[in-house]
Copies of this chain bind each other. A is one copy, B any other.
């Protein structure tokens, strides 16, 4: 995806299209670039460091979470990894069959399941993470440490905004109307 330059070009075209309606250029550019960058980085890492280990991005993130935080309830892992519980079930199963992760029931609370790394998983992460981190450093290689800090901070504020007020905002936008059903997914039994 080139057309990086195109974002500025696009703004003009949008304004033409809308005939005078104000476009929030800067805001549009941040959001667009955020997604381009995230996708590019993810793809690069999947096709380099993660490929040799036969891991997808998500699988790696899950491993990483369990590695860093130690044995954790699946609910927490999903939250921390930024995926839904349902997705985690599948990913965890894959990792389990590959012998990288262990799934055990909680001793006292029968509802909970706990994930932890196997010895093999531990070894893999010890080897893989430095490579991964090295590559993270490479993709942002054009930025100074200070720029990294500032950018990380800015992005954090975006996340906070959405997480803290997103729900409320969505309700306000609906203005009492029933939320439209999702287009895909399991249908009501009715």
List chain A positions with a Cβ less than 8 A from chain B.
1-4, 6-7, 10, 13-14, 17-18, 21, 23-24, 26-44, 47-49, 51-52, 54, 56, 67-69, 79-82, 126, 129-130, 133-134, 136-143, 145, 147-152, 154-163, 166, 169-170, 173, 179-180, 182-183
Q: How far is the CB of A3 from chain B (nearest CB, A)?
A: 5
- Cα distance, A14 to B133, chains bound together (Å): 11
Chain B residues with Cβ below 8 Å from A38 are 34-35, 37-39
Who on chain B is nearest to A161 by CB? B142
Q: Which of B40, B129, B151, B180 contacts A151 (CB 8 A)?
A: B151
B52–A6 touching, CB < 8 Å = no
Q: How far is the CB of A96 from chain B (nearest CB, A)?
A: 16
Q: Which of B34, B140, B163 contacts A1 (CB 8 A)?
A: B163
Task: State the copy count for this chain.
Answer: 2
Q: A79-B3, A139-B162, A158-B142 are in contact. Are A34 and B31 (CB under 8 A)?
A: no
Q: How far is the CB of A28 from chain B (nearest CB, A)?
A: 6
Q: By CB atoms of chain B within 10 A, which of A40, A54, A80, A81 has the most?
A: A40
Chain B residues with Cβ below 8 Å from A23 are 133
Who on chain B is nearest to A5 by CB? B156
Q: How far is the CB of A75 from chain B (nearest CB, A)?
A: 12
Q: How far is the CB of A179 from chain B (nearest CB, A)?
A: 7
In the complex, the 4 A-B pairs of residues with the closest C-beta atoms, listed nearest first: A26-B148, A33-B155, A38-B38, A29-B152
A140–B3 touching, CB < 8 Å = no
Chain B residues with Cβ below 8 Å from A80 are 1, 3, 6
